[in-house]
Amino acid sequence: MTGSTSDVVVSDAPERNRFEAHIDGALAGFAEYMRGPELVVYPHTEVDGAYEGRGVGGTLARAALDDARDRGLRVLATCPFIAAWMRRNPGYAELAYQSRSHVSD
């Protein structure tokens, strides 16, 4: 199988506070979230070993971040995978939460 993401289907599962990625109907991975009125935190992303190398993680990251953008939310990526994906994809940099205590005059 190639690294194509065309067979990865991501959906929001709000009852489980996560986005889920399915391939051929099977759960391939998920990205957990804690969503508030102005901020969403992504603490953990997991891809089943059987589906690694098929673009599941990246597809989850893009779907989760696109959702945050659509909702007008800032993103706090405590998950190392999501944080690294945001750094590699600068089009999502404006979503990153910046603590006001670190802003200089």
Contacts of 84 (CB under 8 A, 6+ apart): none
Backbone angles phi, psi at 2, to 5 degrees: -85, 175
* pLDDT tens-digit readout, 37-77: 999 999 999 999 999 999 999 999 999 999 999 999 999 99
**Residue 65, helix vs strand vs coil:** helix
Instruction: List the domain boundaries for the chain.
Output: 8-102
pTM, 2 dp: 0.86
Contacts of 57 (CB under 8 A, 6+ apart): 29, 45, 47, 81, 85
The mean pLDDT of 89-101, rounded to a whole number, is 86
* pLDDT tens-digit readout, 13-22: 999 999 999 9
Can you give the pLDDT at residue 103?
Answer: 47
Fold of 8-102: Aminopeptidase (3.40.630)
Six-digit token string for 97: 């939460």
Could you tell me which of 12, 61, 50 has the C-alpha nearest to residue 28? 50
